[in-house]
């Protein structure tokens, strides 16, 4: 498998982890039981960390030429 495909799979995996963490934090926020505030904060901190990791991965992949941006031109 080529490196570009591995990077795409890694980006999708990190996106799923971010969404999972966000919904876990929402669930603990809605339940509103003792000790859930710390869990909510921890899960949101994980989400921020994984978002930063995703940006770093995308930056490295773009700099190395593994992925190419495309979009609207003109």
SS (H, E, C) the chain: CCHHHHHHHHHHHHHHHHHHHHHHHHHHHHHCCCCHHHHHHHHHHHHHHHHHHHHHHHHHHHHHCCCCCCCCCC
Q: What is the pLDDT of residues 21-70, one digit of tens each?
A: 999 999 988 887 777 788 888 999 999 999 999 999 899 888 988 888 77
Encoded tokens for 29: 């926020």
- pTM attached to this predicted model: 0.81
Domain ranges of the chain: 3-64
Q: Bigger pLDDT: 2 or 72?
A: 2
* Residue 65 CB-density burial (10 A; 0-12 exposed, 13-18 middle, 19+ buried): exposed
């Amino acid at each position: 498998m080529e490196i570009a495909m591995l990077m795409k799979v890694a980006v999708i995996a990190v996106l799923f982890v971010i969404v999972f963490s966000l919904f876990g934090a929402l669930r603990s926020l809605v339940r509103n039981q003792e000790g859930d505030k710390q869990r909510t904060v921890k899960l949101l901190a994980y989400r921020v960390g994984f978002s930063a990791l995703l940006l770093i991965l995308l930056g490295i992949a773009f700099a190395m030429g593994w992925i190419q941006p495309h979009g609207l031109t003109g």
